[in-house]
Each structure stands twice: as structure tokens, then as C-alpha cells.
Structure 1
Amino acid sequence: MLWTPAPPDLTLGEGEEDRTWDFLTVVGGSQAEAQACLTEALQLQARGALYKAHAQAWAQLWAECGLDMVGPLPLRQALRGSLYYLLSALPQPKAPGYICHGLSPGGLSNGSREECYWGHVFWDQDLWMFPNILMFHPEAARAILEYRIRTLGGALGNAQNLGYQGAKFAWESTGSGLEVCPEDIYGAQEVHVNGAVVLAFELYYHTTQDLQLFREAGGWDVVRAVAEFWCSRVEWSPREEKLYPEHHLGLVCPGYHSGVNNSVYTNVLVQNRKNLEIYEAVTSPQGPAMTWSMFAVGWMELKDTARARGLLDRSFASMAEPFKVWTENADGSGAVNFLTGMGGFLQAVLFGCTGFRVTRAGVTFDPVCLSGISRVSVSGIFYQGNKLNFSFSEDSVTVEVTARAGPWAPHLEAELWPSQARLSLLPGHKVSFPRSAGQIQRSPASLPGRTF
């Protein structure tokens, strides 16, 4: 790491009301790489072009993806800020040596001793951050999965140390994949991380059809090892003549409820009004930032827009002004630059308001209009080699395929429910229809897409 030193004091001249000072920090994989990058940055700075280059790079990134709405400005700013910090924590796409070393709850900016979980990687990466990244940047999503592939050896060791087969991904992981949680009990019992890891692989496959990752790059090894771990944990119940998983953490937030058998969290995801009413009432008001986002999604599924709207507002209470930086808890305590909370909040809009669900058959949608929000727009959605824009209002939905990665990318269509009407989605043509549920899927007439 190299940087330009900051002076001991900053002074304005006589009659001078403001001045800007620029300081640079460069982090590289080697001294030579860092020095080369710092030299380039200093040259841009000397020409007065550094900020312009920075702004142009971000403008290009925003042109490729976006999540916005016609609604309250604080809500729009929270969406933009959350997506900004999440993208900032990722390596630059297509950069040389593009490797992701995992996303910690505090991103790149925090993680010293006893701060922000030491910068370790949790299930937060796979469950709370990954789905948002996957919808816009599949190459970055793949890089996150490759981190899990590279750390599979450590996960195999974790399972062996606990007396099980297969792989147990660490509750707190670093470069080795070995468990580095300071408290042994969490490393041993927080096994739900495995489910989040495999869910990320499943969502990635349905979205990209990238068989190469699984066949040649180690993805299948991860899935198989997790399956072996779960199989080695089941116990036979003579009374019921069934196999059950032995005790593990699980229900609302697994970290709050330990040592239960046959956990609902692991075995089935139950979404209904009674569950939401019961668990919303008993969930700690001091819970982490992503808590209320998921309740908002649940109420949107049930079309209770009033309750969903209130919880959506509550879900970004952990955001601090003026730079929209999140903390883990609404009172300012916990991890700083809390990407986990930002990821949950983004999901409340990206998957809650739109109703997006990535399935084997396609991407389902079921848009919900909340009070004070007249339109939601999502641009740059990636699905099987196609880039799409999706927007909706109280009256209508508009879908447009803006680009195809190549002739191998399948043609898409929108199937509307319950009418089952099918509308072709041709590149460059906007398709609008009355607001309804449906699914974006491969057209039956489309030739099979290649793997990539």
C-alpha cells in the first residue's frame, strides 16, 4: 500500500474561503503494481484529469446498471448510495488479475483488531450482497463464487475437525477458508452458512447457465461437498421412521436461536401472514440493519402495501448522513459501512417491489406499488446473455431487452399470469402491458444457448 502523505495542518490563505486538497492511496498485489498505479494517478492528478477519469468510470458503470424510482428523495438516495458502496467493494470488472477475496460486512474500509469483524467473510456475502450483484454483474458474481471455490480446502478441513464429512464453510472466513471466528461455539454451530453458499451457486446457474464454472472450475465440487456435509449430519428417528438433521442454529435469525433440532430455517422457508405477525412482534428492535427489509419483502408478497411501506422506510434507518454510510445498528453501533444492511435494503426494492424471483424456468415478477412511489425502474438486469430494463407503475409494466451478448444468447419472452399470454422481447423494442404478475423466460422458439 502506497499513499501521498497528509500534512500536519491545512491552512487557507488570506481571503480564501475554500480549497480542495487531494490525497491518494493505492493498494496493489505487489509493490511494483502499487507503484505503477500510484504513478499513473499522480500523472492524472498533475494534469487535472484524475477526477474526470474517476467520474467517467462511474458514469459508465451507472449506464450499465441502475435502481431508481419516482418517489421520496431520501429513499432514492439510499438506493443509489447502497448500490454505490456495494459496487465499490468489488474489484473492477475486466481488470487484470480480477480476483475477489471475499466481501466482509464492512467491505474494504474496516476490519482492524476487534473492529467490524476483523474484515472476515460471513454468509452476509452470499445471502445479503450476492443476489443484488448477480442481477447486474454476473462476472462479479462469479468472482465471489470463485472465492468459495478457492477456500473449499479450508471448508473440508472445518468439517473434518467437527467430525463430519464434506465441507463446512467457515462462519468467519479469510484467504484459507479455515474457521477463524474468535469464539469456537459460533464456528461450530453456525452451519447455515452452507445453505447460503449453495443458494448463491444455484441462483448463479439459473441466471447465467454457466456450466463451465461447475464442470471445469470447481463449482460442482462445492455443491457436492456441502451435500456430503448435510448427509453426514442426519439422524434416524425410530419413532417416526424418518431422517432428521441434528441440532443446528435456526429460525428467524439463526444467530439468535441455538441448539434446536429439525430447524425450520434450514428445512423450509415459510412465508405467510401468521409467521410475519408473530415474528415481527418478537424480533428485537435493536436487530441488525437488514432485519426490516425482509419483513417488508414478506408483506409485499402478501400485498399488504401499508405495512410493507412502513417497514421499507424503517429498513434504511441505519444510514448516516451526509455520505449515506450505514452502520450495523440504527443507533450507530456495530460494523461501519455495513454492506450487509445495504444488501438487504436493496433486495427489498430489487426483489420486493418488483417481485423478482430467479427460478429454473425464468425470472418471475409480481410488481407492487407502494404509497408515495409512482414508478420503479431497474436497468441493466442480466439474464442468460441478455440485458434488460424493467419498469412499472400503478397501471403498467414495461420490459425492454437492450442488448444481447451474442447470437448464442436465447431470445426471451414475457409470459403474463394468469392469462398465460406470451409477448416476445425483441432487442431494442419496448413491450408494455397492464401491471400483472408473470415471468421472463426463454422463448420456446429460441435455439439452446451455449455455455459461457
Structure 2
Amino acid sequence: MARQTVRILRPFWFLTGGRMKVRKLWILLVAVCLILCFLLTSYISTQNTKTDSNIGDFLRNIVKKQNKAKEIKDVSLKSTTFEAHELPLLANGEIDTRYMASVGNGHVATVIYSNTTYVNGLYSGQEGFSHRARVPSKNAIRVHFDPFVEKDISRHFILNTEQGVWREIINHKHFVVIVNIYAHQYYNRLLVTQIEFMRIGRKTDEIIEMRLENNEGGPSRDIKFADPELYNHQYGKAWKLSGQIAQTELSGKESGIPNQKTAVYVFYSDLPSKLEVNTDSTHSHMWTFITSIDQDEQVAKKDFDDATAVLITGADQKGRVSGPRALFDSHMQMWEKRWHDGGIEVDDLALGKYIYGSMYYILSSLPSLYPTNQPKNQFFGLSPGSLANGANASDYMGHNFWDTETWMYPPILMFYPEHAKDILSYRWHGREAARKRAKANGHFGTRYPWESAYTGAEVTPGRICMACRENQIHITSDIAFAARQYFSATRDMKWLNEWGREFIYDMADFWQSRVTPRKGTDAWEIKGVMCPDEYARNVSNSFYTNIGASQTISYAKYLQCVAGAAPPPDDWMKKATGLVEVIDTSQNYHPEHEHYIRGTTVKQADVILAGFPLMWNVGQDVRKNDLDVYEQVTDPLGPAMTWGMFAIGHIELRQYNKAADLFKRSYSRYVREPYKIWTEVVKGMGAVNFITGMGGFLQAIIFGYGGIRLRVDELTFDPVLPPNVNTLNFKNLKYLGSVFDFFFDQYKISIKVERVDPNHAIKLQTEDGNKYAFVQGQLIEFDRTSGRIFSESKLTCDPPVDRMDQRVAVRSLPTNRAARKNT
């Protein structure tokens, strides 16, 4: 072995003057191993940084091979329920919470049996170190028995997305124990654990002892809590924790930007070490343990007290008596209403599970749509890892990116427009920080940061990716486009006049100040940006970025007209239409940016996003070429949402077989069973639970196979069934106040109108010219074809034209080999 080591390391002898001893070789070998371990550890801790390097790719492959955890089967035959007989485990036998289900209500969330609870908007750490502040879990409660009882027990572990509850069922020949854990939808500061014991089988005088263990973990480093105080309460013993976050996001005082040390208050039930019950009892027994968390002490206390009163009286918030299950019933009813108000139904069980799982994890990170026990707090956005994740140095630390508006937002908008407004409200809430971000670089308006958290200020870790922080500015137009889609879907004039118009105008003001004249021409350009493809870090005239800037300015002019306000200065539109659109005229495709060399690897979907979601009219031939060019060079280990966009493009072109392959790729390699946990890249890699990928997958269903396009003045459709699916139903779609089911199979489309808005006379016109009026309760049926849905009460302003007048032809490529060499 020593000789082999000498032979391998002989090239490194020059480090010791060519006279290295074997002992020194071993020292060097150990040092090399330690360095590799350090690099591996560093990479893992920062693997989800929205960028990669060559060493990162190398180490990613190593982790991929070493991270092949056992796949656990989902045995449930219901699309809304994920059930298993075992839990994902680490090598040491502990629960692998990385692949566990989560519960949340938009205010609080937790990964089941983890030692952490997170609260929306609660962060600790300065700037690039800002991350979700960990509240030690009070609801990660497991029930255990002595070994003699345990040997006769079987356990089932269920996530019921329909009811928004995690359930562990413990079966014994003499009893059943059911443990429910959920984030309450009405008392939305609460996490609840309920343990129910029910006797079955023969009677016995035996006392059953249930040991209770809570995975609280160690003290939080993020929040400086005082010692727990006893909270005297009419429903048994309880406790109160109070504290402040350890560190604010900004180091100094920023005028107009909230930056105080946020307070945290936690009220929680006392947890005994054991529960005893006689199995001879003829009644079931239920114990409830609740935790209430808020930044306001009185708010946290009120939800705790009011929920406790429900437990005492057995009546829900409307006074309806349902015994000890009243608290759960009121929660479940709100989830059932939420699902009734929107969703996607297919007749394929596996696909249906992926759909329900994706909708559930996104919705559980959003606040309730319905009245809650107390007013809801300001919503602080959707992070790629959902509300249940975001620790320091993992899962993007709970930050918000373009992921929110570009990937998660569109499917939510189609079913839950009020949620969409909540998402936009976070950006409006952070407008002062965005205004300062623009001004700091000598620009006008609002420039939104690449990563934001509590204050809305830039919190991208510069130590990881300074180019992301400084150059990835397309997020401002991504936010503007989301706002454009909201108004297109709702024509919400109250929103427009209160803050929507100003919101978009300020973003347009940034773009008109960010463009620069192109020397020797009448054109305008945008230099020094990072594309959505994060391998291109500092380029000029990114095709996607230029389009977004043009659309933002044009739409701002449109909304000024709709609101009856003064139009922007004339030179704004000259800049919008005069921005360069790079095109390779010899090969009829769009280079990603002005100096892109065909064949260069790209990280993720970029140019193809012009066709969708931006709906930029590039022409069918160019659209096809763009898809073909970039499919060949997109990193196969790239993020999940990319492949759904390729699928949408090929469905547009009616290339259904190719679309089917890419659609399957969009989810099959990223979902971990049994609880449908998505990872950012290939299974086991990147952020979890990656709701960005779920958003891309849902878009492939709605806008790909549903063929739906939300345009400025109409909603168009051209549906086709996904593989192995016979029926697809978009339940309670929303458009201009109308609510309708959009059902189709191989032969026909059925539209059932549930509600119409009297302010909008909605009509449907099919491709062959047939017209139908939307009337409440009406069922409209016709042969499957394309068509449009529109309001006859049109706005008087002309919708923006998505085009630029300037094109810059770039030189044709070198060979693919040369391109790869230059990558």
C-alpha cells in the first residue's frame, strides 16, 4: 500500500524538495482528505445558493451517490392522502426530518417531529446571514410504550392534505392511539397536538402507560429567550416564553425601513412525561397540547386562551358543540373550504398525489383566505423551501427570490387571487428598501433585491454569490409581470388605485433609468446583468432581462391610462420599444445574451421563458429553435422547475411525445416518497421542501396541458390531456370575478359556471366562432377545441404591445467543442 501511495503521489514530491518519506506521504494524504472533506462540507452547507462552480458540480455528484436513501412506499389509494408504515430514517436510526411532511398555516409551520417551528416574518442575523429564527418545537410529540406493549404495536404515518393534518395511528390488540398534529387555520397562531386513546377488544384492568417525548432540541441561537414563566390557566398548567431575536437584519438605522429587534412570545401547554389510562374504560380519552406564537404578546395569549376555551366547552368559534374534537373540526372545515374553492382533479392516482402534494405545501405556507380569530399579520412572502424550512446556511434561509412571482405565484393566481394579492403585498411592504436599493446605484424608482427577508433589504450572501446580489436584477420585472397578471385576472380597481398603479410605475421608473444608449445607434441596452441562467454572471443584453424591462415600462403606461393618471414621459416608451432584442439571424434563434456562444451549458430555463410565462411573440419557428437549442445544453442536474417550461413550449407546438418526456422529467427525479417532498435538483439534493419546483410542475398542468393563457384583455385556452389521463378538471377557476369549473376529456370541454360578477359580462367564444354567455348555474359544453373567455365591458385603454423595435444580430456560433471550451 505504501508503494502504491508513493507512486500516486510522486508528482507532488517537489513540495518537499523531491525527498519525501513515506511517513510524510501519509501526512500529505491525510491533509488532502481533510481538504476534500472541508470542501464537501462547505458545499453541502451552501449548495442551494442559486449558483454553481466546477468544483461544486464535482462534489454534487459525490453527494448524489452517497445520498441514496431508502424509498418508502405510499400505500394510500386516495390522491389526498400519503400513508406509510415506516418513517424516513438516517443511518443512525433517527428520523430523517429532511424528507418528513410539514404542517403550516402561513403564520407558523413545522416539519413533523423536527425540533423547530418557524414563524412568517421572524428572522435573525444581519444581511447575508439573515435566516428564519428558530423557535424550539413544543409539538414534536411522540408516544412510546414499554417494550412488552411496544412489541405488539403497529404504526401508520399519514399526511392528510385534505384536512391539513399529520396523523400517526398506533394499533394494538386492546387499543388504538391517534396522534394528530396540525397548524390551526382559524386560530392561526397555533400549532396543535392531540392524542386520542380508544379501547378495543377484551376488557382488562391493565393500566396502559404512554410515555411522551418532545423533540425540542437545544436552546435557540436565533432568539434570546428568558427563562420560562408559569402561566396560570383554567385549563391546566401552561407556560410562557418571551424573548427577542438575537440580531437585526440591518446594522444601522435605515429611515423608513423597520429594523427593530423583533419580540417573540410563546404560550404552550405543559407536557407531562407520561399519560396513564385504564383499558377497561368505555370512553375514549383525548389530551390536547397547544402552542401559540406571535410577535405581539396579547395576540399570542388570546389565541391560546380562546383555543383553550374551545377545549373546555367543546364548542367551535360559531358556538356549535362537537365535544373534544371541536378544535380540530373548526380547523378541518377551513381546509375543506379551501380545497372546495380551487384545485385540480385528475383520474390518475399517482399524478393526482403529486398535484395535491404540491398544492398543499404551497397553500400551507400562505395565510388563510377566510376570517381568522384575530387579524392576520403582514405576509412576508414564499421562500423556495416553504415556511417550514429556512435555517441558517440551508434552504435559502427563508429568503424570497424570483421563485415567488415566477414559479409559485401563477398557479395560485388562477385559483386564489386573494392569495396572489397577499404575495404582492409583501413587495409593496418592502418598497422603501427597494427604493433605497435603486438610489444606491444611481437609479430611480424601486429596484427589488435578489434575496429579501424581513426588512425588504438586500440579504443575498455576498460571500457566496456577489454577482447574484449585484447583477441579477430581472427580479424587478418578474415582480412587475406578476402584478400585471393579477390585474389581468381581476381588474381590481381598488387595488390599482390604492397602490397597484404606483407599485408598477416605480418599477418601470427603475428600468427606464437603468437602460443606456447603444453607441452609434438609436437603440438602448442593459449591460452588466446576470441572466436567469446563473452560469452567465456579467453579460449585456440578456434576452429575458430586456424583454422584462420593456414589458414593465409598457404596462406602466397602460395602467396610468386605466387609472386616469398622467402618462409616463415620452422617452420611457422610446426606451421600452428601443431595447435591443438579440437574435442569431443565420440560425434563427435567440442567443441568451449578446455574447452567448451556442453550445455553452446553461443552468436552467432562460430564453424559453420568453414564450411562457412572458408570452412574448417570437414566432413559431424561432420558438421551436429556442426550445431545441437550449434543451440540448441545459444542465441535466439543474433545478426542477426548468423542465416543466420546456414541456409547455412543446405542447404549444403540438409536439406531444416530446412534451410528455419533459413533463415526466419535471417531477419524477425530484420527488421523495412517501410524503411527496421535492428537492431542488436530483433526489436528495438542494433545498427542501422545494415549492419552486412544485410551482413549475403545476404550471405545466395548468398552462401546458390546460393550454390556459392569462392575457391583458382575455383568457385563452387550448387543452390537451396529459399522458395516462382521461379527464382533467380545473375546479373553481377565477377570472374577472367569475368562478367556474373547466373540465375536459378526449372529446369535449364542459364549463360549469358557479358564480358571475355583475360588473363583467363574461362571454366564451370557441375557435369555430360559437359564443356563449356566462350565466350562474349554467353548464356549457362543446367539442374540445381552443377558445377565449373575455369581458364585453372592455377597458378604453389599448393594451400594451409586447414587442421591441430594435434587433441586434449576433455572429453565428463557433463549433460546439469551442463553445464548451469557453464555458
Q: Same fold (TM over 0.5)?
A: yes
Relative distance call for 1:443 and 1:427 in structure 2 (3 A) is farther
Q: Larger deviation: 350-359 or 239-248? A: 239-248
Corresponding residue for residue 564 of structure 2: none
Matched, 1:34 2:311: no
Relative distance call for 1:440 and 1:29 in structure 2 (3 A) is farther
Matched, 1:307 2:307: no
1:435 pairs with one of 770, 784, 792: 784
Is the 8 Å Cα contact of residues 358 and 364 (structure 1) preserved in structure 2? yes
Once the two structures are superposed, the pairs formed by residues 79-94 of structure 1 within 5 Å of their partners are 79-94=355-370
For 1:119-176, what per-residue CA distance to the aligned partner results, in whole angstroms no more than 9, with x for missing partners? 0111111111111111111111111111111111100111122222221101111222
Per-residue deviation at 1:212?
A: 1.8
Per-residue deviation at 1:397?
A: 1.0
Once the two structures are superposed, the pairs formed by residues 60-79 of structure 1 within 5 Å of their partners are 60-71=337-348, 73-79=349-355
Corresponding residue for residue 205 of structure 1: 487
2:684 pairs with one of 308, 318, 332: 332
| C-alpha RMSD of the superposition | 2.3
Per the alignment, in what secondary structure is the counterpart of residue 329 of structure 1? Answer: coil
For 1:289-346, what per-residue CA distance to the aligned partner results, in whole angstroms no more than 9, with x for missing partners? 1011111111111111111111111111212111112111122111111111111111
Cα distance in structure 1, aligned partners of 2:692 and 2:406: 9
2:530 pairs with one of 224, 245, 249: 249
Corresponding residue for residue 220 of structure 1: 501
Per the alignment, in what secondary structure is the counterpart of residue 49 of structure 1? Answer: helix
Q: Larger deviation: 51-60 or 160-169? A: 51-60
Is the 8 Å Cα contact of residues 671 and 683 (structure 2) preserved in structure 1? no
Once the two structures are superposed, the pairs formed by residues 14-53 of structure 1 within 5 Å of their partners are 14=149, 17=154, 18=170, 19-22=177-180, 23=193, 24-42=290-308, 47-53=324-330
One-letter identity of the residue aligned with 1:220 = R
Relative distance call for 1:177 and 1:424 in structure 2 (3 A) is same
Q: Larger deviation: 368-377 or 274-283? A: 368-377
Q: Select the structure of larger CA radius of gyration.
A: 2
Per the alignment, in what secondary structure is the counterpart of residue 178 of structure 2? Answer: coil
Corresponding residue for residue 402 of structure 2: 123
Per the alignment, in what secondary structure is the counterpart of residue 315 of structure 1? Answer: helix
Is the 8 Å Cα contact of residues 400 and 452 (structure 2) preserved in structure 1? yes
Structure 2 length normalisation: TM-score? 0.51
1:355 pairs with one of 679, 696, 707: 707
Corresponding residue for residue 422 of structure 1: 771
Matched, 1:160 2:439: yes
Cα distance in structure 2, aligned partners of 1:333 and 1:7: 28
Per the alignment, in what secondary structure is the counterpart of residue 425 of structure 2? Answer: helix
Per-residue deviation at 1:395?
A: 1.0
Relative distance call for 1:436 and 1:213 in structure 2 (3 A) is same
Query: Number of matched residues?
Result: 440
1:235 pairs with one of 507, 516, 535: 516
Cα distance in structure 1, aligned partners of 2:145 and 2:303: 29
Cα distance in structure 1, aligned partners of 2:780 and 2:534: 45
Cα distance in structure 2, aligned partners of 1:344 and 1:434: 29
For 1:42-91, what per-residue CA distance to the aligned partner results, in whole angstroms no more than 9, with x for missing partners? 555671334333332221111111102123x2111000110111111101
Cα distance in structure 1, aligned partners of 2:752 and 2:673: 35
Corresponding residue for residue 141 of structure 1: 420
Q: Larger deviation: 338-347 or 57-66? A: 57-66
2:375 pairs with one of 89, 97, 101: 97
Is the 8 Å Cα contact of residues 468 and 530 (structure 2) preserved in structure 1? no
The runs of at least 4 aligned residues of structure 1 exceeding 6 Å deviation read none
State the identity as a percent: 33
Cα distance in structure 2, aligned partners of 1:152 and 1:423: 43
Q: Quick check: which one's strand share is greater?
A: 2
Per the alignment, in what secondary structure is the counterpart of residue 275 of structure 1? Answer: helix
Relative distance call for 1:314 and 1:7 in structure 2 (3 A) is closer
Is the 8 Å Cα contact of residues 672 and 683 (structure 2) preserved in structure 1? no
Relative distance call for 1:119 and 1:48 in structure 2 (3 A) is same
Is the 8 Å Cα contact of residues 130 and 141 (structure 1) preserved in structure 2? yes
Cα distance in structure 2, aligned partners of 1:45 and 1:115: 38
Per-residue deviation at 1:254?
A: 3.2
Structure 1 length normalisation: TM-score? 0.91
Per-residue deviation at 1:9?
A: 7.0
Q: Larger deviation: 157-166 or 85-94? A: 157-166
Cα distance in structure 2, aligned partners of 1:209 and 1:288: 34
Corresponding residue for residue 346 of structure 1: 698
Gaps of 5+ in 2: 1-134, 155-169, 171-176, 181-192, 194-289, 313-323, 548-609, 612-617, 797-823
Q: Larger deviation: 58-67 or 159-168? A: 159-168
Cα distance in structure 1, aligned partners of 2:643 and 2:756: 36
Q: Work out which structure has the larger RCO, using CA pairs closer than 8 Å and 6 or more positions apart in sequence.
A: 1
